[in-house]
Amino acid sequence: MQTITEEAVLEALRQVQDPDLRRDIVSLGFIKKVAIEGRSVEVEVELTTPACPVKEELKAECEAAIRSLGGVETVQVEMTARVRDTMEDVELIPGVRNVIAVASGKGGVGKSTVAANLAIALRQSGARIGLMDADVYGPTIPLLLGCREARPAVVNGKIIPIERYGVKVMSLGFLLEEGQAVLWRGPMVAGTVRQLLADVDWGELDYLVVDLPPGTGDAPMSLAQLVPVSGVVLVITPHDVASQIAGHSVELFKRMNTSLLGIVENMATFVCPGCGTEVEIFGRSRGEEVAKRFNTRLLGRIPLDPTVSQSGDAGMPIVIERPESPATAEFERAAGEIAREVSKRAYAEKSLIRELT
Ligand SMILES: Nc1ncnc2c1ncn2[C@@H]1O[C@H](COP(=O)(O)OP(=O)(O)OP(=O)(O)O)[C@@H](O)[C@H]1O
Ligand SMILES: [Mg+2]
């Protein structure tokens, strides 16, 4: 019987394509290890994000490709990930690879709820995550994560973020006394956003999720000026679609020169707690339509579910409290799609740089 060689294994793996980067995983440099011992083959495939939604499919394809070689008895494919950078060595936050801003056109659409659940879902995929509450007008992240009483320590002049559910969290809420209000003037907002970024020891993060205040006011503007935001996730509700707020917001964020990763549609459907049927209570969902019209993607559709709200109020987001719920499934899907979009951008940037130099 013919011996199995590394070349043959690599050749076989060239049949496997990354569906987003549209190239084979060998020329993308994803194969980190090939070990052959007699009739058994072991490979390590390093993806661009641990939250990759097609990880299992790719793994199966790799196994099948290797098995298609004659004489192979056992195959072991290990899937690992290294999140690529969209913002190499930004001085303000040196260890942070990508910044994902969660925004909305108007208040109360579920932006903070989405930001918190997305952060945890990304964390559960294995990525290193920070969550920054940039809603300086009404910081609610400490409430949603059940850490309102927490007070971060300061070490060597840097604030150490609070850790909740494996996520590094920072909010102005930690620095204010209960009930203390701040009267903001424009430049103060910029200064505070800067501080929440730069004075905090974020360490090494794959994704820093930022919960913005509603609209396109001072905080989003400052953020976009301070760091290269990898992309914005826009949260919309059926009401925004009806009143055209959704469209206006998309345009505004496009004008700010930040790329839109896509739309999360919140509270468009209701999942009946009794029978599990999904009802479109506000009429036909238009999220897909809006995404198409503005040349972006619908990343997820979170149903209206009283447990989303209750779990938030109780400081334990639904992704943790009800891992099997339909809302959790959508948060996880959105997290995967977001990670995927960020990878595409990181890769596009790199290949563009390679082409230019
Ligand atoms: N999918 C959902 N199902 C049920 N309730 C939800 C859902 N999403 C959000 N909510 C509830 O809606 C309210 C507003 O949500 P949240 O605070 O996340 O919105 P926001 O856009 O961050 O608001 P703000 O503009 O005040 O920052 C909260 O009570 C939250 O629990
Ligand atoms: Mg909020």
302 Cβ inside 6 Å of ligand 1: yes
- Residue 117 C-alpha to ligand 2 middle, in angstroms? 13
The verdict on 61 and 107 lying in the same domain is no
- Which residues on neighbouring strands pair with residue 167, listed in sequence order? 164
Residue 57's CATH number: 3.30.300.130
Q: Please give the pLDDT value at position 154.
A: 93
Query: Which residue among 52, 81, 110 closes a domain?
Result: 81
Q: Could you tell me if the CB of 266 is within 6 A of ligand 1? A: yes
Question: Which pLDDT score, from 0 to 100, does residue 330 have?
Answer: 96
Q: Is the domain of 53 the same as that of 195?
A: no
pLDDT in tens, 8-35: 999 999 999 999 999 999 999 999 999 9
pLDDT at 219: 81
User: Quick one: 109 and 188 in the same domain?
Assistant: yes
Q: Are residues 74 and 118 in the same domain?
A: no
Is there a single domain that holds both residue 113 and residue 233?
Answer: yes
Residues 6+ apart with CB under 8 A from 342: 49, 83, 86, 98, 100, 207, 230, 231, 261
Residue 276 confidence (pLDDT): 76
Tell me, what amino acid is at 200?
V
Cα(320)–Cα(151) distance, integer angstroms: 23
What pLDDT is recorded for position 40? Answer: 96
Range of the domain at 56: 6-81
DSSP assignments along 288-328, one per residue: HHHHHHTT--EEEEEEE-HHHHHHHHTTS-HHHH-TTSHHH
The response to whether residue 305 sits with its C-beta less than 6 Å from ligand 1 reads yes
Q: Are residues 295 and 230 in the same domain?
A: yes
Question: What tokens appear for 328 in the block?
Answer: 């959790």
Q: Are residues 146 and 207 in the same domain?
A: yes
Domain count, the chain: 2
123 with 24, same domain: the answer is: no
Q: Which of 113, 210, 311 to mutate to test the pocket of ligand 1 (most atoms within 8 A of CB)?
A: 113
Q: What angle do CA 150, 151, 155 make, to 5 degrees?
A: 135
Cα–Cα distance, 135 to 176 (Å, whole number) = 13
Give the Cα separation of 197 and 229 in Å (integer): 12
Ligand 1 pocket residue status of 304, Cβ below 6 Å: yes
Model pLDDT for residues 77-87, shown as the tens digit of each residue: 999 999 988 87
Report yes or no on 336 lying in a domain.
yes
133 within some domain: yes
pTM (2 decimals)?
Answer: 0.92
Q: Which of 130, 147, 117, 111 is nearest to 220 (CA)?
A: 111
**CA-wise closest residue to 62 among 82, 81, 46, 83:** 46
89 φ/ψ sector (left φ>0, alpha ψ -120 to 50, else beta):
left
Give pLDDT, residue 156: 92
User: Per-residue confidence of the chain (357 residues) as pLDDT tens digits?
Assistant: 678 999 999 999 999 999 999 999 999 999 999 999 999 999 999 999 999 999 999 999 999 999 999 899 999 999 999 998 887 778 889 899 999 999 998 889 999 999 999 999 999 999 999 999 998 888 999 999 999 999 999 999 999 999 999 999 999 999 887 767 676 677 788 888 898 999 999 999 999 999 998 887 788 878 888 888 889 999 999 887 767 777 777 777 777 667 889 999 999 898 887 787 888 887 777 888 888 888 899 999 999 999 999 999 999 999 999 999 999 999 999 999 999 999 998 888 776 555 555
Place of tokens 């909305």: 104
Q: What angle do CA 8, 11, 17 make, to 5 degrees?
A: 145
pLDDT attached to residue 257:
67
Closest by CA to 335, choosing from 266, 268, 261, 276, is 261
